[in-house]
Chains A and B, each alone.
Chain A
Amino acid sequence: MTEQNDKILLAHGGGGRLMAELIAKTIGPAVYGKMPQVLADAAGVNIDGREILFTTDSFVVKPLFFPGGDIGRLSICGTVNDLAVCGAKPIVMSLALIIEEGFAVSDLEKILHSIGKTVKEADVAIVTGDTKVVEKGAADGIFINTAGIGIPKKGIALGFDRIEPGDVILINGTIGDHGMTVMSQRQELTIQSPLQSDCACLHKIIGLLLDQLGPKVKFMRDPTRGGIAAVTNEIVQSCGCGVELWEENLPVNPAVKAAADILGFDMLNIANEGKFIAVVSADAEQKALDILRNHPLGKKAARIGTVGPKQPHSLVELVTSIGGRRIVQMPYGIELPRIC
């Protein structure tokens, strides 16, 4: 059994262990020379004394249209959110389209309309872009890349190094909505599904939190591919503290849980596109939850866990609904639908 992968697997793009391995061993050394200590959702760049945040993301979701959104909306929200969780106000974006020959113009128009709407909602401007067309079969309908620049808010400092034992971990709402919606559509499993993606721009709700709590907000990240499991494992790996999550407190839409049960998925590993994790100091917990719950995108906000003491082999542990304990691993990369 060969140990080294000589081919890229789907799992390498899944936001989990295999992707982390690819970045650390292959991409990172080639691109960065010396790997940066930490890879955040957006990079801080100093240009002539002015600090800006810069990020990019590519969108290859399938199907292109799903309840609650489409690839267009996702391409704006994704990049806006990457800037927002790093404490930046998104200002400008680029938009690059790679379109497959034969793609319906009406579908392209729908996607562009969606982009336009979301851009207005996010209060950002698309200032540059690119369009390419490739032969039939060379792209799955359409791939989109967006990049964004934002200005960091004053008076906040977010990072793994700020996380301390005793801090609490909050989320603004139900988990797994986006991933399960897309999964159930793609599998053509469901003829009818009540599921909706939670795809949304989070910069305004995050802005409220940062404005009112300032440095009491220590760290934020949006749990996209790899879900809560990936984010909490990144926290543990980067700051050395353990994390304890409580299953009872995880906000879940029962229909989403049912879909996960049908397909055999673990909710903690499923992508979210309208949610963010915030690590805040314990004394700010109640105020933070009040702020979130007062916003339409935070009605089901909850404390889902706490940060534990620094340990040599820190782990993410879940206290199960019956009081048992188990580990939450960094996900592999793709959830294999489990039948058996």
Chain B
Amino acid sequence: MCLAVPARIVEMNGDQAVADTMGNRWHIRTTLTPEVKLGDIVLVHAGYAIAKVDEEEARKTWELFEQIADMEAQQQRAQGGEDAT
């Protein structure tokens, strides 16, 4: 009973936040992880962040996260390309 998903915090307002996994965004609470800041990677369970995780370690441990990171990098490159034109 512990399905949890890694996600990046993309919006924060008090303990209410928006988490992003592969572009899927949803409302969560950071009440249990008050140390979390915008941009941090967290583990989300049943709508709550339960742990902040180190990004580098996340890449090594979570296959999904590696794909997320790759996708984000791709998007950034595309953004960079668009901005340049």
Binding site for B on A (CB under 8 A): 184, 189-195, 254-255, 257-259, 261-262, 264, 338-340
Contacts and interface: CB of A to CB of B under 8 A. Distances in A.
28 contacts: A189-B26, A190-B26, A191-B18, A192-B24, A193-B23, A193-B24, A194-B22, A194-B23, A194-B24, A254-B22, A254-B64, A254-B68, A254-B71, A255-B24, A255-B71, A257-B64, A258-B5, A258-B21, A258-B23, A259-B21, A259-B24, A261-B3, A262-B24, A262-B26, A339-B45, A340-B1, A340-B2, A340-B3
A191 to B, nearest CB: 5
A257 B71 CA distance: 13
A339 B22 contact: no
Contacts of A340: 1-3, 46
Interface in B8-29: 18, 21-27
Interface residue range, chain B: 10 to 19
Overall SS of chain A's interface: mixed
A325 to B, nearest CB: 20
A174 B22 CA distance: 16
B67 interface: yes
Interface of B: 1-3, 5, 18, 21-27, 45-46, 64, 67-68, 71
Chain A CB count within 10 A is highest, among B24, B46, B67, B71, for: B24
A257 B2 CA distance: 18
Given A254-B71, A257-B64, A339-B46, A264 B24 contact: no
A258 B25 contact: no
A255 B22 contact: yes
Contact of B3 (A192, A195, A338): A338
B24 to A, nearest CB: 5
A256 B20 CA distance: 13
Contact of B25 (A192, A257, A261, A339): A192
Contacts of B23: 192-194, 255, 258
B18 to A, nearest CB: 7
Contacts of A255: 22-24, 71
Given A191-B26, A340-B2, 13 more contacts: A184-B24, A190-B26, A191-B18, A192-B23, A194-B24, A254-B22, A254-B67, A254-B71, A255-B22, A258-B22, A258-B68, A339-B46, A340-B1
